[in-house]
Structure 1
Amino acid sequence: MKTRRVYSTPDLAHARQGMSAARAAGVDDADLSLIARTDIELDAIPEGRKDDHTDFKPAAVRGLAEGGGAGLLAGLVAMAIPPLGVTLAGAVAAGAAGAVVGAWTNALMGASSPDPVRQTFEGQIASGRILLVVDADDDLGARADAAIVATGATPLPFDKPTALS
Structure 2
Amino acid sequence: MSTRRIYSAPDLARAEQAVAAAREVGLDDDCLSLVARSDIEVGAVPDEMKQADTDMLPAAARGAGLGAAAGAVAGLAAMTFPPLGLTLAGALLGGGAAGALVGSWASALAGASIQEPERRKYEAEIEAGRVLVVVDADDDRQAHLRAPFDQLGLVQLEVDGHATPQA
Q: Runs of at least 4 residues of structure 1 off by over 6 A?
A: none
**Percent identity between the two aligned chains:** 44
Name which one, 1 or 2, has greater alpha-carbon Rg: 2
Q: CA deviation at 1:42?
A: 0.9
Other-structure match for 1:37: 37
Other-structure match for 1:16: 16
Contact 1:26 1:144 in 2 (8 A): no
Q: CA deviation at 1:16?
A: 1.0
Mapping of residues 1-165 of structure 1, within 5 Å: 1-52=1-52, 54-56=53-55, 60=58, 108=108, 110-158=111-159
Q: CA deviation at 1:55?
A: 2.8
The one-letter code sitting in structure 2 at the alignment partner of 1:2 is: S
Q: Which secondary structure state, in structure 2, belongs to the residue aligned with residue 133 of structure 1?
A: strand
Q: Which runs of 5+ in 2 are unaligned?
A: 66-103, 161-167
Contact 1:22 1:148 in 2 (8 A): no
Q: Which range is displaced more, 25-34 or 107-116?
A: 107-116
- TM-score after normalising by structure 1: 0.60
Q: CA deviation at 1:17?
A: 1.1
Contact 2:35 2:50 in 1 (8 A): yes
Q: CA deviation at 1:117?
A: 0.4
Contact 2:29 2:49 in 1 (8 A): no
Q: Deviations over 1:108-156 (max 9, x none)?
A: 4542211110111000011111111111122222222343233211111
- TM-score after normalising by structure 2: 0.60
Q: CA deviation at 1:39?
A: 0.8
The one-letter code sitting in structure 2 at the alignment partner of 1:38 is: S
Q: Deviations over 1:70-105 (max 9, x none)?
A: xxxxxxxxxxxxxxxxxxxxxxxxxxxxxxxxxx79
Contact 2:10 2:153 in 1 (8 A): no
User: In 2, distance between residues paired with 1:56 and 1:149?
Assistant: 34
Contact 2:55 2:111 in 1 (8 A): yes
Q: Which runs of 5+ in 1 are unaligned?
A: 68-103, 160-165
